[in-house]
Amino acid sequence: MLFLAKTLSFYKRRDIQEELVKQAKDKEVAFRFGDRFSKRPETLSYPNDVLELAKQRVTSFHCSEELWNNPLQLSTTLRREELDALRKGWDLVLDIDCHFFDYSKIAAYYTIKALKYNKVKSITAKFSGNKGFHIAVPFEAFPKTIEGVPVKNLFPEAPRRIAEYIKFLIQDPLSKAIMKLEKKDFNKIIKKTGLRAEQIIRYEKNEFGDRVPQLNVEPFLEIDTLLISSRHLYRMPYSFHEKSALVSVPININNILKFKKEFAKPENVRVEHPFLDRSTKVPDAETLLRNAFDFKPATSIIEEEEKRKKRLEEKQAYHSLPEKAIGEEYFPPCIKLILKGVEDGRKRSTFILINFLVSCGWDYDTIEQRLMEWNKNNPEPLRPQYVLGQLRYAKQNRKRAPPPNCNNPAYYKSFLVCKPDELCSQIRNPLQYAKKKAKTFAVSARRKKNPS
């Protein structure tokens, strides 16, 4: 109740409401109720909504790194090319977390320094609300295209490259700064981090050939790279952190080493510094983008785009309908077991079967007939209106998608139809199984008909 009183008191402030709405523009938003999130996607458009949500026990607000033409059109079923079409840009938000506040401050300081070294001026920062910092550069600071490739489509590849590049740049100065802070005592760092000596100590030879111990910050320096992914969310500025009861407050990038957690207590928070200032008119992050792609250049920007297009073509081939509908003799064990009837997971099975059969090239009339037969096999059949309603929705929606992947814990294994055979080890999705088996039999039949 004490935390609820804090959130209500804080979120009723008009300046806080306006800042949250400002940050939510063109972004997907999610609301957190203590330990759970709201359904996605959501948006936040009006200041008064902030207090109303707080009254409903919303504790924090989270938004996407990506900017969208219409966030409410987002769906987990959208493919990469559909997300690219819907995306209008992305912000660079580097999540700096060394698990220890003093180390995170130093890492954030050198991250800002590295960005400035790359000629970026439109840098803003905020305290994460617990132990880290978010360092941000708005999409407006990046060029619209680079080497003919739309920069808006370089997500998540570009921010991941930038994060890896920045991490490389700051490792050495961060190592020296932490050693200075701990008075060159490795034991203090070992005790703080809980890591073994061999994990954090590396050796370099000096001019005399002596092996000199150096601090390796890699094991405890975290700059979010793997989690930079489509629809990834971060805590919005002026939003509470549930564990610390502190606010994720924007800060002056030039005074980050002087920042104290007490500044983030709700009663001390003032709207003073911007976060993701979109007023920049000059694309000052082009040098950063080019340097990041030149760093460990596994691929150039154009090659990255070509790889993306190739992946897209492969996905399109995967999602394309077969020339001839795939028969039940080629179905995987899980689908065959579902078709025999299930006691549990009937609604989920309806979803699976519709997506699977449509992707196998079956027409909707045949699918309807087969679903009605299947429903009679269930020990407790679903209402026919439910099955027909789901099929009608799929037909009207016209967005074809494969059934859930085999490793999705909410499906096959949960209602005991996952009984893999030898071919199952080679696939990730029941549709892959059917296509692969049908193709194998077709090739075998052609060889028998025309032996060489």
User: What confidence category does residue 212 fall into, taking pLDDT thresholds of 50, 70 and 90?
Assistant: confident
User: What confidence category does residue 399 fall into, taking pLDDT thresholds of 50, 70 and 90?
Assistant: low
Asked if 300 and 293 touch (Cβ cutoff 8 Å), the reply is: yes
Of 57-61, 228-232, 384-388, 403-407, where does mean pLDDT reach its minimum?
Answer: 228-232
What proportion of the chain, given as a percentage, has pLDDT over 90? 49
- pLDDT given at position 398: 63
pLDDT tens digit sequence for 110-165 = 999 999 999 999 999 999 999 999 999 999 999 999 888 899 999 988 999 999 89
For helices 364-377 and 384-397, angle between their N-to-C axes, nearest 10 degrees = 150
Domains located in the chain, CATH noted: 2-310 (3.90.920.10), 328-449 (no CATH)
pLDDT tens digit sequence for 165-177 = 999 999 999 999 9
User: What confidence category does residue 77 fall into, taking pLDDT thresholds of 50, 70 and 90?
Assistant: confident
User: What confidence category does residue 240 fall into, taking pLDDT thresholds of 50, 70 and 90?
Assistant: very high
- pLDDT given at position 220: 79
Q: Which two tokens stand for residue 162?
A: 């930038």
Asked if 287 and 119 touch (Cβ cutoff 8 Å), the reply is: yes
Residues 6+ apart with CB under 8 A from 127: 133, 246, 247, 248, 249, 251, 259, 261, 263, 264
- pLDDT given at position 214: 86
- pLDDT given at position 320: 55
**What is the average pLDDT across 35-51?**
93
- pLDDT given at position 324: 78
Flag whether pLDDT at 226 surpasses 70.
no
pLDDT tens digit sequence for 185-206 = 989 988 888 888 888 888 887 7
- pLDDT given at position 443: 77
Flag whether pLDDT at 322 surpasses 70.
no
Maximum distance among all alpha carbons in the chain? 83
User: What confidence category does residue 318 fall into, taking pLDDT thresholds of 50, 70 and 90?
Assistant: very low
| Of 18-27, 356-365, 411-420, highest mean pLDDT | 18-27
The string of DSSP codes covering 201-267 is: EEEEE-TTS-EEEEE--TTT-EE--TT--TT-EEEPTT-B-TTT--B--EE-GGGGGG--GGGGSGG
Judged by DSSP in three states, 127 sits in strand
d(CA 68, CA 15): 25
**What is the average pLDDT across 355-374?**
89
Judged by DSSP in three states, 84 sits in helix
Mean pLDDT value across the chain: 87
d(CA 424, CA 434): 10
